[in-house]
Structures are given as structure tokens and as C-alpha cells.
Structure 1
């Protein structure tokens, strides 16, 4: 029995079970035809609930936040649902299997990077991938009405990939980018543009920005903002560290995940939030041996979490990646992917001393990291063959 008792008035004593079973008032229907008893019977249970009354279902949908666009590219649009840690990628081209490939390759890469963390301590992050939903998935039954509907993106079920959202740069960093790269007459408007809050910075160490004093100043946007090698140099960023981190990532892609790296991209975004990173777990027997009141913080919390970085370099966009074999054929595939792909990595023979110097850093780190992954295996000579092949392909002679 559940009772509610008050000292002031004994008439307030209510037997909830009796009220539900015997009081005819509980048979009253609401305007949607659902009795109070039926509603409570569905809610007040620890068993599975197969369905909710339609008004309850509508209420749950109404309190969920609509999806909001946070980025786009030539082949996809990306949304967030405020209040959740997820991003939702939807293709806008008729290549549905590309999104499925993105799903499988990203999971493969993420698992590979995590699995080798004790061997290669890289600073690059890979977004966790959650799930893939096709056009007939139950996901759309409860989420379709929450997506925007506009002439360029009609509201209809599509294939969608859910993954960890990379959080944008902090406001101070965004404002600094606007101050440096936006036309002075547009700075105020750019800082007040809500879309510029969704800022990830693409790092392209293999290209230059051109000669414009304020690139893109007519409609300045921080979405998909590109920072080229000369701008990295101008800002005095640690370009060598960026090149080394990219080298780690490519070595892990090739020799741990065993994929060619076609079309991958690198962006600077906020570091993954870490509340407590535990290096070990305390179990009751060990805890019982400690004096009461002993601090266990220093025993189980990683020291690296005491001073977390503000930003991280993130690796993403795996839709064009393909598996490679651990032989000469796989090396040729990896070389072709590097040469045909974008200019995120530094390149040899660039006719630019800064990019060439970053290539030297990149090669040294790539070979070093790849050696840890392939040492003592039949593939141990392949990383050097990859570098040699890239230099031959990009040689001006």
C-alpha cells in the first residue's frame, strides 16, 4: 500500500491502490479518450512498454529539440539535436552506400586507434560512431518532423549516420579568426552571425591560401573554415606538431586499420570533454584495506586529465576509404589515395620551403610510427615503400 498522510487533516490519507481499483473517478476519460487509470498503468511499471497513448507520444516529441544544421559539404549535410552529444550526417547525393561505407570505415578506424593506444600515443581524435539508419528505419517515425523542411532539403526519410559531435572552437578563438581574416567592414556582422558558432577549422598543410588579404570577405563564414600552410605559419602555430600528428594518423590508418585514407580530413575542434578518466578501478577488497577517509583520486584518475587541452585535431570523413592489403598492391593503393586526395597532408616538391620542411617532419614521424606497428612482420618494409612511391609520383621530373 502507498499512503499519503498529513498531520493537519486525516481526510487527506489516500490509499492509491484502492483509488485506482475502486474509485469510479479514475475511469474519467481525458479529451483524447485515454483514462487516467490506463495512463498510470502504462507509466507505473518496470516492465517494457510497447506503446504510449498518442497524446503522450506527441508530448514527448514536442519537448525534444528540433534538429539544427551545423555544416554541409558537396555531398552531405550535418545536423545536431541540441542537448545531445551526437551529430547526424545525411547524404544529399544519390550514393547511399557511401554513407554505409563511412559507417563501417569509421568504426574500423576508431576501434583500431583505441586498440593500439598503448603502442602509439597520438594526439589525433576520431569521433565515435553510434549507428546507421536507413530510409525505412523506425528512427524516422519519431524524428522526421523534427528535421527542417526547405526547398533545398525536403523533409523525407533518408539514410542517416549518427556519430559523436565534434564541438566547435570556443568563442574567443572564433572571434580571433574573424578579427584576422574577415574584411574589417564585416567583422561585427560575422561575430553576430549565429552560423559562425559552428566553427571547425580545416588544417591544410599541403596548400597555400592565395593572395587575397581577406579570403571570402564578401560573405565570411567560419563553417568549414580552411587554414592553409601560410596562414598556419603567419599565426605561428606549432606546424611541426600538426604535421607529426597527421603522420601518426596516416600510419595508423595504413598499418593498423589497414585502409587507404582516401579523402580523410583533419579539423581543429574543441577537445573531447573528459570529466573523469580512470586509469584503474578500485574494487571493494582493495578499498577495505585502506584507512577510512583515504583519498583515492591520485590512485585512479589519470594525471593527464588535470590539464586538459582546449582543442584537439580530429580525423574524419571516411566515406571514400577502402581496405588495403599488406603487400605491394596495398601500397600502390595507398599511394594513389594520397596523391589523388586533398591537401591536408604536407607534400614534397611544393616549391615552398615551409611546406617542404613540414614534409620532412611528416616523413620522419610516419616512418617512426609505422615501424612500431609493423616491426617483425612481413609488412615492415612497406611504410618506406609508401613514402618513396609518393615522392616518385609527385616529383617534378
Structure 2
């Protein structure tokens, strides 16, 4: 689930078309001196995610029956990336590189690598989705998470486990841990769930995260026409720019560079290996629409967006959450969403309709919301 940079996509695709002999004998750890193996760094309901050490791309490989999910992922990803390039919300989106169906020439040099164990070959298909890898969290942040949240007797193992070098942290502004609950017996920094209470414990800039999510979701809704269902917001590293990270590659460069434990600095445009950034990814469950549907069925569209918002994992602050911090985060999210909508000069009131419908649902009013447009 990692991914990009418009200035590096050509180089990345060139690398992916490498014809190095014997490059595929990696699953048995028989490595050519010029190759590195693809390693599984994540998996989900629809796919496995592979990465090759030293490369800036990942490969999603569809499970049997989920080929169309990769097509949806790629199509929605392209729309979101294009909208982010135009409107530049302060969140990174990985660069989509290509969708490789079974007939693709890309498979001629990669099928021997990927269509083998360690995972059940019967569950794999020769459909692959290539995208930029999200840089993992810098070591200083990995160490902070391990020293703060890993059981003491497991910290040394966690610190030396190479799998934790692929660290990404899901930012759950809509969830706190149960008070007094014990630390989980297993600890992994791959897709670590970082809840609101943990973020507050780290003095993380949660209000800024809420604003960034609000801006990003607004652009996704009204710039890309993608509902955002199933997307993830994670903290990862800052991408290394080919020369200097351009605004089209990373959004608002001055706003997205944030330290987990300090507020972002608007005067921090340069690459810093110790900074963490917010990224959005995973579009395989998203639905899309066109202008005709928006004009003909606005109420249905708003309801679809509300359902996607509340059914997603708890990344967003919610209007139904109680507590001073939670209420502040919803306000920050709400205001950022509406400010972004105003900056886009939209000719319809649907962004406000979406926010109002969310607040009605958050207050317990589950009646079908309708508005005369």
C-alpha cells in the first residue's frame, strides 16, 4: 500500500522494465549479484504489496477475484492525483505509474518473480498495479513509537526487526484507545494504528492533521469526483526530490512537512530526512461520478459521500465525538473543508450540504437528508 513523483516516474518505469537475467529467482532467495528480491511488505483483502529494496516503486498484485479492484484503484488514483496537482492540498498522494494486465509486456520479465510462493499461487493473478512507494517513517520517529508504545521486553527486537523499516502510521483522529487497556502482545510498525490519545501523548500537531485531511477530502470530492471510501491517511517520510521537490509532486510543499512531535513549519521547503508527512492512499473501494450525475441526483450523491465518510476507518474527526479536543478537531476539519471548497470557486452548494449532512447524522438524526437545488 505504498506509492510517487511526477519527475521520477519515467526513471521508475524504466527500472521496472529491467531485463536483467535471472531477476526473478528471488522467492527462493537465489539472487543474481545485480538484483534484489521483491519482498511482501503488506497485504489486504484485495491484494499483496511488494517492494524491491532500493527502488522507489511498489507493486500491488491482485488476489483472485479482485482484478477489477485494481482497475478501480488505478482509475480513481489517476483522478485524485490530477486534482491534487491542480488544487495542491497539503497532503501527498503517491504517483500512479501503470496498470499491468496479463497481456502487458511488463509481465514478461516479472511473472517469474511475483507469481510464486511464499503466498498461495492459486490466490494470485497476473494483474499488477505499479505506483510510487511512500517513503517509510524516518528512524527517529520509528524509535519514538517503539520506545513509547512497544512492550518493554520487546523493544530491542522491534528496534532490530528489518520489517519495521517499512513503517507507516495510520492517523486515527476519530479513535482513542480504551483507557487502561494493556499494550497489544504483537508490535509492528507496518501500518501502525496511531490513535488520537497516542498522538496527543506525542504532542503531535493533531489540529493541523485535521485541517490537512479536510482540504484533501474536499479536493477528492469536488476536484476528482471520488467519494474517498476506504482511503487511508498515513504518516510516512518525505520523498527525496530528483532535484528539489516540486509543488506538483508533493502538493503544498511548505505545509506538508511535519514532525510527529512538533507543529509544521511553513518555512521548511527543503528536504529533511527526519520529517514526517501525511499521505493519502488506497483507492480500490472508491466510487466515482460525473457532472451529469451530480446535477441530476445531488441528494443521492451527498448521501453517498456521508456514508463513505462514516463507514471509513476512523481517520477523520467526527461531529458526534465528545470532548474538547474532539470538538476542536471537527471544527478544524470542517473549516478547512469549506475553505478549500471556496478556493475552488465551485458553482454549487454541495460541499456545505455534505458538511451539514454529516453534522445531522452526528447528532443522531438518521433521516434521509434532502435539499432543493
TM-score, reference length from structure 2 = 0.77
Counterpart of 1:179? 147
* 8 Å Cα contact 1:71/1:198 also seen in 2: no
Q: Which has the higher contact order (CA 8 A, sep 6+)?
A: 2
Counterpart of 1:361? 332
Matching of residues 227-246 of structure 1 within 5 Å:
227-246=194-213
**Change in 2 beyond 3 A, CA 1:212/1:80:** farther
Counterpart of 2:102? 135
Counterpart of 2:351? 383
**Change in 2 beyond 3 A, CA 1:93/1:221:** farther
SS at match of 1:160: strand
Counterpart of 1:92? 63
Gap regions ≥5 residues in structure 1: 1-55, 281-302
**Change in 2 beyond 3 A, CA 1:183/1:127:** same
TM-score, reference length from structure 1 = 0.73
1:248 has 2:218 as partner: no
**Change in 2 beyond 3 A, CA 1:211/1:161:** same
Counterpart of 1:311? 276
Shift of 1:353: 2.9
Shift of 1:146: 2.4
Q: Distance in 2 between matches of 1:60 and 1:230?
A: 45
Q: Distance in 2 between matches of 1:332 and 1:142?
A: 45
Q: Distance in 2 between matches of 1:87 and 1:59?
A: 20
Q: Distance in 2 between matches of 1:139 and 1:386?
A: 42
Q: Distance in 2 between matches of 1:339 and 1:59?
A: 48
Q: Deviation string for 1:169-224 (max 9, x for gaps)?
A: 112211210111111111111112111111000001111122355532x2211111
* 8 Å Cα contact 2:46/2:69 also seen in 1: no
Counterpart of 2:301? 330
* 8 Å Cα contact 2:238/2:271 also seen in 1: no
Task: Give the superposed CA RMSD.
Answer: 2.4
**Change in 2 beyond 3 A, CA 1:369/1:115:** same
Bigger drift between 133-142 and 123-132 goes to 133-142
* 8 Å Cα contact 1:86/1:162 also seen in 2: yes
SS at match of 1:313: strand
Counterpart of 1:200? 168
* 8 Å Cα contact 1:267/1:314 also seen in 2: yes
* 8 Å Cα contact 1:255/1:374 also seen in 2: no
Counterpart of 1:16? none
1:273 has 2:240 as partner: yes
Q: Deviation string for 1:41-94 (max 9, x for gaps)?
A: xxxxxxxxxxxxxxx963666433221111222332211122321011123352
Q: Distance in 2 between matches of 1:115 and 1:345?
A: 23
